[in-house]
Amino acid sequence: MAKLDELRVQIKTDPFIDGKRCKAIASATHTSLNPADQEPIATFALAGAKDMQRAVQAARQAFDSGPWPRMATKERVKILNRFAELIQANATQLGTIEACNVGKLLKECIDHDVARASANIRFFASAVQQQGDETFFNDANFLGKKIKTISVTKRYPIGVAGLIAPWNSPLMLSTWKLGPCLATGNCCVLKPSPWALLSVLQLGELANEAGIPPGVLNIVPGDAEGGKALVTDPLVDRISFTGSVPVGKAIAQANAATRVAPISLELGGKSPTVVFADADLDFAAKGVARGIFRSQGQSCVAGSRLLLQDSVYDAFMQRLLKETESMKIGSQFDPESNIGPLITKQHLEKVEGFIATAIDAGAKLTTGGKRPDDPKLSQGNFLEPTIFEKVTTEMNIWQEEVFGPVLVVMPFGTTEEAIALANDSRFGLSSSVWTTNLERALAVANAIEAGMVWINSHFVRDLRAPFGGVKESGIGSEGGRYSLEFFTQPKMICLPYPVESC
């Protein structure tokens, strides 16, 4: 495993604009700290409005006069596949940087997140080759003559995209946007979160090595001012954002106030997990624990609300507590760790605030809820996996996205009651149903108000399937043709010809 000390000198922190590193005009800086011990990793400038405008202009020029959108699809695909290969070839370096920056387990960063980042690019490079034109034949009258028409619908790149990625899985989720954006011939400005951008910033040199032309991919570590400049710039044709509801709403308002550009918003959730009495309880307990505590609960699809049928409530809770309390809390670089640190001290304190509010409201703290006693972990942002029982639907801990290792449990009696509780949320991103009754599983899946429902599993991804939610979980879906359609613009071309010529 590469040592972080050895990587520090290799980490690129300057904005990547027009194919090269450049100094930020803005003077504000941010220092990334290792969440496990608060040791500094790197200090970088937070780009402001002028820096963002410079990146947008580079992307605009690359799209308007550069080779990328005019290149044959097979040539773009070749370059993107090389880009994917380089990401995978640098998996240890990228994964180590991300683990130290974000706090996710090293094995998860290397084996899953970096691997998925490479797969995202490769998948959309393949998918764009499957995207065909639609052709319609029709009979019509024009100026008193019977004619036939051929209407061809072609899809063209939209231009410049503003891509705003979150901090919880920065490399994986950045490439989830980059893949379809670049594969369809667009240019972009990628703004990762200041909390977690070190791995993403390293993509610049890999893009150059792969042969992506200057200006096509720009990566700018911007502050709030820089983000607003990106969202409101008239040269930007699309905005794709993944993050919190308040920021998503602000982006939608700023976009509507300044221009009308299509936006995609993925805003998180408060996902229900419904366990029926006939489920495989041992298997379900492992699945529920993984669904909420993986990545320290810092996931938009975390199964943070457990609905448990009352006839097996006690039996299931025994299994779940055994799973939960056996998890080892430790450094993200410890191969024995199951739970790493939360990303920042600020976020840890926010999660602790949710826990304190729940206790004050009368919820029963069944396990966890505090920082671990181990003095070796005292400097890190560690929190024990936490479970609350005896909650009510009015409680803040039931309604709000905590984005941490916190699970709330509520019993139910009937299927109808389970559905009502599952839908008692302003979010609607994902959910899971655990039962051996296929008819019930499908009925509940159809009734739950969510963009995604897993049955006897959790977060099993097919990159062709839509990823997105309903209600305040966002607007639009990503994945497969849904992403390709967002980053392209349809154009109908109609060719008429006389009947007599047939």
Compute how many other C-beta atoms are within 10 angstroms of the C-beta atom of residue 218: 28
Amino acid at 87: I
CA 22, CA 202: separation in Å to the nearest integer? 14
> Are the C-beta atoms of residues 249 and 406 closer than 8 Å to each other?
no
CA 169, CA 120: separation in Å to the nearest integer? 13
Sign of the C-alpha dihedral computed for residues 74, 75, 79 and 82 taken in this order: positive
Token pair, residue 39, equals: 């040791």
In degrees, rounded to 5, the angle at the alpha carbon of residue 265 between the alpha carbons of residues 393 and 162 is: 155
Token pair, residue 155, equals: 């899809």
Which is nearest to 89 in space by CA: 112, 115, 113, 122? 115
Q: Strand ranges (DSSP E) for 254-378?
A: 263-266, 272-275, 305-309, 364-367
SS3 string, 219-244, reads ECCECHHHHHHHHHCCCCCEEEEECC
Burial track 277-300 (b if 16+ CB lie within 10 A, e otherwise) = bebebeebbebbbebbbbbbbbbb
> Are the C-beta atoms of residues 76 and 183 closer than 8 Å to each other?
yes
Q: 139: exposed, middle or buried (C-beta count within 10 Å: 0-12, 13-18, 19+)?
A: exposed
- Assign 474 to helix, strand or coil: strand
CA 197, CA 167: separation in Å to the nearest integer? 7
> At what angle are helices 281-293 and 313-325 packed, to 10 degrees?
50
Give catalytic residue positions.
Answer: 266, 300
- Cα 115 to chain centroid distance, Å, stands at 15
In degrees, rounded to 5, the angle at the alpha carbon of residue 338 between the alpha carbons of residues 387 and 428 is: 50
How many CA atoms are closer than 13 Å to the CA of 164, on its beta-carbon side? 26
Amino acid at 440: R
